[in-house]
Structure 1
Amino acid sequence: MGSVDADAHVYETEVTWSFIEEKYKKFTPQVTTRTGGAERVGDDGEQMQYWLVDNRWHPKNNNLMPGTTVEQREMRNISARLAHMDELGVDVQVIYTSLFLRPAVRTPEAELALTRAYNRWIGSVCAEAPDRLHWAMVPAIQSMDKNREEVEWAKAHGASAIMLRGTEWERHLCDPYFFPLYELAGEFGLPICIHSGNGSISQHDFCLEDSSFTKFFQPCVGAFHSLVFKNIPGKFPNVRWGFVELGAQWLPQVYMDLKRRLPRFGRRVSENFLGDNNMFVAANIYDDISYITQFVGEDNLVIGTDYGHNDQSSRVDAFEVFRNRNDIDPAVIKKITDENPRRLYGL
């Protein structure tokens, strides 16, 4: 049985930033450690390291998935990554950033420099196995006029998605500011994939000591609701939308809310709630799929391992566990693990 991991990750390395253009070298991230105060240890057992990026710092060797090696997580050794995929029964991975799930930078120029470098690095890495390794490009949100060139380049070099976070630079995803990017997504056949994350410095840092539920999950579910409520998918009928690393257990609640809310505005929720909006959602392997599909059907759910990361959505053997669930019809399992993600990512 084929399978597509709809949510895998790579950890950025010093090699990533070797792709920074010469004129932007001043923005090269630095690796630092704490020299005073309480010592912290990373998930690899070594002293905690941090990326210093545009005068913001972010953990580097933290949230590491057990059962993976540094060569696999950082894609230093593509053969090792592919061999592990074979062990896990995964044919294809769609790879997302780690650093840019949060507001990594402060300024438009730094964002442009580092997202371009990341895209070229991950594009070159995945080019070693283009049939099995696909990737989500990271756009420069504050340089919207530069994104046509970047999306065109990414599409030509194996990108299968455009990644956004639940909030971007103090803007909601329904803001017309993003419409040019959505137009590009439709033109180049790349889905807009909202990955669990937050691009708002003020919102992210306000919740800095909270869990990812507040920092990352809530903005993304709110974005889903707002996109449907404001009929943004209807304005861009050629765009596919993905919602990644959020689970799917929240879908029935959002569906019922919109079913009651929209009639007040002369609209109704479609019976094919996800399909008619070209929306796909990555479920967790422990979600109550039978219950969820009563509301949203079975044709627009996918799953992922969260490969490389270690949090509540992570499960390196997700596909084996999911295939062995006896409460889901095998035909539905086939859709969720293979057919649906291929439609989402245009594989």
Structure 2
Amino acid sequence: MGFIDVDSHALEVPATWDYLDPKEEHFRPQVLTFEAGSVIRLGARANNTALPRTPSQLWTAGDTWARYTPAHGAMSPHVNMYDAGMLDLTDPAARVEALDALGIDVQVIFSTFFIGAELDNPLEEAALTRSYNRWVGESLSGYTDRLKWVVRPPLRLMDRALQELEYAANHGAAGIHLRGIEHGYYLCDPYFFPLYEKAQDLNLAIVVHNGATIRKGPATPIGNFTPHPPALMGQLVNLMYAFHAVLSSDIPERFPRLRWGFIEGGATFTLPVMHQHARRDMSIGVTPFLDAKPVHPEDIERMNVFVAVETDEDVPYLANALGEQSLIVGTDFGHNDLGTELGAHQTILERQDVRDSLAQKIVNDNGRALYDIDPKFQPAPAEPAFEDIPHVHAAAGGPAIVVPTWVRDKKRIQRSATV
């Protein structure tokens, strides 16, 4: 069995913007450095005292900003650290070595900058997305059998967006990165229909990643997109918007071959959306009043919808509600936050409440269906490691933190018994 990692990341570096045309150089994002104590990380502790302040850097472009993550990816001392070249795409061979150790056949790479950047100037958006896409496409040349990626289109200029899709399809991309709301439009807006038609024709999935636009706004100081823990919900609600946009519209009928992925927010968020959708239909007369029709797994399958689970969710319940064919899983490789688990596939396999056939679909089959990856392509070794991952180690020292403690302990017992 091989694994499909539906979610990982690249970290943008100054070279990302070297594909700007000379006349576009004034759009080049700048790096803003905060001295120690200037930026608060991740809100507040349970006792309401501020977390330690640490030096940090940000990308700035217009009035938007994004994280400038260190090349090793470690934002704190209790997470994983990656060797040079793995995250800035200068050493994709090293990244493939890590995939082999993790048992991952194919990994799909997302931007970090464009998770939250909101560019008002259409020409600026077109310039930066084009440069990013060329950077990824050229950096991964020769490796796109194992390292696929999702293109970021310039959505304010649709003709330029369609050109980017053409480039991406010819350079190893497997999907298109969108957020739940783009430039004030929900994803069911007809404005996006030309994009969806082109995506369908090019066999590119639409992949909505957890994230929201980041700007200077009320109660959101520059450099801290979660000034309080509830601000994290703004990231999740955009997945809900996008999921409901597909669920409640005729998009699946208009574009029947288009596939949809919802990434890095767990899958439990879908349940209240489906429930409220059913009640909305009842309230406007689609179904009899006080006789709401629930959304069934067959509906989700017909819509070509896939949702990434987190390994500590109630996976059997979600499979019953959404259908076994819809659940996928990713590692968030390259980041170190609440969506990250390098050994997520292994953890799913070790769960006693998840049947082997369901686990197989989650860690492998469904991800291949979303990104149209050949089931016969299985280059990774059959036995994944749960530590000793090449080029990845714990920031505090020692082997990388790959799976939860209970899986780690179980595997160590199994290994000692085998030895």
Does the TM-score normalized on the shorter chain lie above 0.5? yes
Distance 1:228 1:41, change over 3 A: closer
Aligned-partner Cα distance in 1 for 2:362–2:17: 35
SS in 2 for 1:146: helix
Distance 1:254 1:42, change over 3 A: closer
Pair 1:59-2:67 in alignment: yes
1:237-276 alpha-carbon deviations (Å, 9 max, x no partner): 1211111111111223333333333244426534513101
Determine the structure 1 residue equivalent to 2:37: 38
State which drifts further: 208-217 or 247-256. Answer: 208-217
Pair 1:91-2:117 in alignment: no
Pair 1:220-2:239 in alignment: yes
1:146-166 alpha-carbon deviations (Å, 9 max, x no partner): 122211111011110011001
Distance 1:271 1:54, change over 3 A: closer
Superposition deviation, residue 181 in structure 1: 0.8
State which drifts further: 213-222 or 178-187. Answer: 213-222
Determine the structure 2 residue equivalent to 1:246: 265
SS in 2 for 1:73: coil
Q: Which has the larger radius of gyration?
A: 2
Determine the structure 2 residue equivalent to 1:308: 334
SS in 1 for 2:86: helix
Superposition deviation, residue 79 in structure 1: 1.9
Amino acid at match of 2:37: A
Determine the structure 1 residue equivalent to 2:207: 193
Superposition deviation, residue 18 in structure 1: 1.0
State which drifts further: 312-321 or 201-210. Answer: 201-210
Determine the structure 2 residue equivalent to 1:209: 227
Pair 1:291-2:317 in alignment: yes
Superposition deviation, residue 22 in structure 1: 2.1
2:286 to 260, 266, 284: 266
1:140-193 alpha-carbon deviations (Å, 9 max, x no partner): 011112122211111011110011001111111111111111111111111111
Unaligned runs of 5+ in 1: none
State which drifts further: 209-218 or 242-251. Answer: 209-218
2:172 to 141, 158, 182: 158
In 1, are the aligned partners of 2:264 and 2:308 still within 8 Å (CA)? yes
Distance 1:202 1:261, change over 3 A: farther
Determine the structure 2 residue equivalent to 1:237: 256
State which drifts further: 64-73 or 270-279. Answer: 64-73
Aligned-partner Cα distance in 2 for 1:313–1:197: 12
Distance 1:41 1:14, change over 3 A: farther
Superposition deviation, residue 50 in structure 1: 1.7
Superposition deviation, residue 198 in structure 1: 2.0
Aligned-partner Cα distance in 1 for 2:37–2:218: 24
State which drifts further: 167-176 or 191-200. Answer: 191-200
Determine the structure 2 residue equivalent to 1:125: 139
Distance 1:150 1:205, change over 3 A: farther
In 2, are the aligned partners of 1:78 and 1:128 still within 8 Å (CA)? no
Aligned-partner Cα distance in 2 for 1:204–1:273: 40
Unaligned runs of 5+ in 2: 43-52, 288-292, 374-419
CA RMSD of aligned residues (A): 2.5
Determine the structure 2 residue equivalent to 1:137: 151
Aligned-partner Cα distance in 1 for 2:150–2:109: 6
Distance 1:303 1:32, change over 3 A: same
1:324 to 342, 350, 361: 350
Aligned-partner Cα distance in 1 for 2:41–2:314: 34
Distance 1:300 1:202, change over 3 A: farther
State which drifts further: 266-275 or 229-238. Answer: 266-275
In 2, are the aligned partners of 1:58 and 1:104 still within 8 Å (CA)? no
Superposition deviation, residue 225 in structure 1: 1.4
SS in 2 for 1:91: strand
Determine the structure 2 residue equivalent to 1:28: 28
State which drifts further: 109-118 or 196-205. Answer: 196-205
Aligned-partner Cα distance in 2 for 1:170–1:243: 19
In 2, are the aligned partners of 1:208 and 1:215 still within 8 Å (CA)? no
**TM-score, normalised on structure 1?**
0.91
Determine the structure 2 residue equivalent to 1:11: 11
In 1, are the aligned partners of 2:125 and 2:156 still within 8 Å (CA)? yes
Aligned-partner Cα distance in 1 for 2:64–2:365: 40
Aligned-partner Cα distance in 2 for 1:143–1:210: 35
Determine the structure 1 residue equivalent to 2:410: none
In 1, are the aligned partners of 2:63 and 2:216 still within 8 Å (CA)? no
SS in 2 for 1:16: helix
Superposition deviation, residue 201 in structure 1: 5.1
Aligned-partner Cα distance in 2 for 1:164–1:298: 24
Determine the structure 2 residue equivalent to 1:113: 127
1:257 to 276, 281, 285: 276
